Structure formats: C-alpha cells, structure tokens
Amino acid sequence: MRVLKSATMLVLACLPAVSLAAGDPAAGQQKATQVCAACHGPDGNSPSNQFPILAGQYEDYLVYALQSYRNGQRKNPVMTGMAQPLTDQEVKDLAAFFASQKGLRIAR
Ligand code: HEC
C-alpha cells in the first residue's frame, strides 16, 4: 500500500514536466491565429501556393523547420523573422496545432 502511494506521488510529481515538454495545440492555435494565419491560413491550409501548407504536416518536421529558421540553418527572409521570436515551447505548441489539422491538399 505504501509503495503504491509513493508510486502515485511520483507519477503526479512528473505530470507538470510532461505537459511542459509536449506541444499544446490550444496554445498553438492561439498563437497561429495571431501570427501565422495571414499567410498559412487559420488552420494551416494556405490560401495561396506561395505559402506552404502546414495542416497535417508531421509534428517533428514542423518543429525541425521552425528551429532551422531560428538557428539560421534554413534561410528565408520572411520565416526567419517569424520564427526567431518564438520560444521552444511556442515552437512545440504551433507544431502540435498544425499537425493536428486536416491537410486539405495533402493526400493521406
Ligand atoms: C508573411 C507571411 C508568413 C507568415 C506570417 C508566416 N509564414 Fe511561415 N512561411 C512563409 C513562407 C513564404 C514560407 C516558405 C519559406 C521557404 O521557402 O523556406 C514559410 C514556411 C514555413 C514553414 C516551413 C514549411 C515547410 O514545408 O518546410 C513553417 C513550418 C512555417 N512557415 C511556420 C510558420 C509559423 C508557425 C508561423 C507563425 C508563427 C508562420 N509560418 C508565419 C510565410 C509566412
């Protein structure tokens, strides 16, 4: 019984760390609506071929792309400016949001 109780405490103690590490799609949506929607569309289905579709893209890929703009590995005058002010958590949140959307023009 005592063991079970300490195991439960351990799991509870770890919960905040887990939720911090993962992307939060709701927070991502809020940020996306304010900043990204103008070009990528409200759900990541960009209205124009000029802007890549983010909806339904793999979450890992979105994180990788945003981090690459941030650290200068990938260069684009527009997206470097968009990605640089983002925190690690915002990158994860945005990736989680766009990955959870249905990509209208991506065959899956
Ligand atoms: C002013 C228009 C504009 C805004 C606003 C904008 N983007 Fe972009 N985004 C672009 C363009 C243009 C590209 C293609 C750049 C390139 O060729 O690397 C792009 C590319 C990307 C890519 C890479 C996609 C791929 O398939 O490799 C990601 C991820 C991305 N944007 C996320 C975001 C997020 C998240 C935001 C909001 C914080 C945002 N963008 C805001 C114009 C914009």
Share of the chain above pLDDT 90, in %: 74
Cβ-Cβ contacts under 8 Å for 45 (sequence gap 6 or more): 53, 55, 101, 103, 104, 105
Long-range contacts of 80-85 (CB under 8 A, 24+ apart): 82/35, 82/36
Whether 37 lines ligand 1, by a CB cut-off of 6 Å, is no
Task: Indicate whether residue 53 lines ligand 1 (CB < 6 A).
Answer: no
108 versus 97: the higher-pLDDT residue is 97
Q: What is the mean pLDDT of the chain?
A: 88
Position 98 scores a pLDDT of 98
Segment 59-88, tens digit of pLDDT = 999 999 999 999 999 999 999 999 999 999
33 Cβ partners below 8 Å, 6+ apart?
Answer: 42
Q: Whose CA is nearest to atom 34 of ligand 1?
A: 36
Indicate left, alpha or beta for 41 from its phi (over 0: left) and psi (-120 to 50: alpha): left
Q: Which of 3-12, 16-25, 41-50, 83-92 has the lowest mean pLDDT?
A: 3-12
Q: Is 7 in the pocket of ligand 1 (CB under 6 A)?
A: no
Q: How many residues does the chain have?
A: 108
107: which 2 tokens? 């065959």
| Cα-based distances in Å from 83 to 8, 13, 52, 72, 74 | 39, 32, 15, 10, 11
